[in-house]
Copies of this chain bind each other. A is one copy, B any other.
Amino acid sequence: MSAGGGRVRIYDVASRAGVSVATASKALNDTGRMTEETRQRVKAAATELGFRPNAMARGLIQKRSFTIGLLTNDTYGRFTLPVMAGISEALVDQGVSVFLCGIEDDPALGRVHLDAMLDKQVDGIIASGKRIDRRLPVDLSNLPVPVVYAFTEGHEGSVTLVSDDFQGSTEAVEHLIALGRKRIAHVTGPETFASVKERARAYRAGIGAEGVVLYGAWSEHWGHEAVAQLWQRRETPDAIFCGNDQIARGVVDALRERGVKVPADVSVVGFDNWEIVAGQTRPPLTSVDMNLTALGREAGRLVLELAEGKPVEPGVRKLPCQLVIRESCGGNAAVTERRGGLVTAAD
């Protein structure tokens, strides 16, 4: 319906309703004081004309663009995409849109995108990444707008959101123990990753012993390899807690090839709950979900609060993970499933 070249301005609405632009503006924004009748008349006129305020004009004066920037070096989107979904979810009904900027690991590219965002007067920036213990290749510490870090390392005194690897891993190990498993091994990624250390720490705490921890690559191949190593030992495990789903898939495939039954003989748990891997494995993997969408929602909420000038306690917040039960562990499901459920306080 809103055809015709020139967009309709608030001036048109005002003159149609027989009021001044000032009154029209106040009527539409539910501010100022006026007869309820006048307010309704203006709103009716706006609807009839299909008026939509020009966000640039509004932003110019309000010094807010209703826009935030998401900066990430996770080209593949494995982590950023769920985070993005959460952010968007939290912001869309506030009328806030999100600039997505993939900056690889290139400082120059990061700078370019950052500058473009600042020029556009973003109300805030969320930084995200593919690794919890690495910084983006661009300095965000002295910006004229608020910054929230989600799933990447923040600067001193920043607001940072990460998943609680310890809690998630604990859920996984306790699940295995609850199923009666006694000899649990841990096959995981490179020891340099903070989350690898954290998950291993939770593993040891969970079984109350040193246990068996094999560090390697984040690949299916390493899963295979690790099984080969484990089955050379005197005592083979009856459960394997894996550092991510790809390793878990490699483990499961290798076990099947050896004629070891999953989950009958050995239970396997993955990490990340990457549907495409966990769901297609035979049997489908029980895995720890990092609740990245919830994390994104929280990041969106926080950056908005900061943008509106509300105070937000700085520091690192760990958000709980949740164990998703499929078929790779056996036993009765729904054991610890509910414990990690993130309380989505809002609506």
Contacts and interface: CB of A to CB of B under 8 A. Distances in A.
Interface in A35-66: 52-57, 59-60, 65-66
A66 B120 contact: yes
Copies of this polypeptide in the complex = 2
Interface string A70-113: 00000111000100110010001101111111100000010011
A67 to B, nearest CB: 7
B97 A97 contact: no
A316 interface: no
Nearest to A94: B116
A52 B259 CA distance: 65
Contact of A119 (B55, B81, B117): B55
A2 B118 CA distance: 12
Contacts of A118: 52
A233 to B, nearest CB: 24
25 contacts: A2-B144, A3-B142, A52-B115, A54-B121, A55-B119, A55-B121, A56-B56, A56-B59, A75-B85, A76-B81, A77-B81, A84-B100, A84-B102, A88-B102, A92-B109, A92-B113, A95-B116, A96-B116, A97-B101, A97-B116, A98-B99, A98-B101, A99-B99, A220-B280, A276-B276
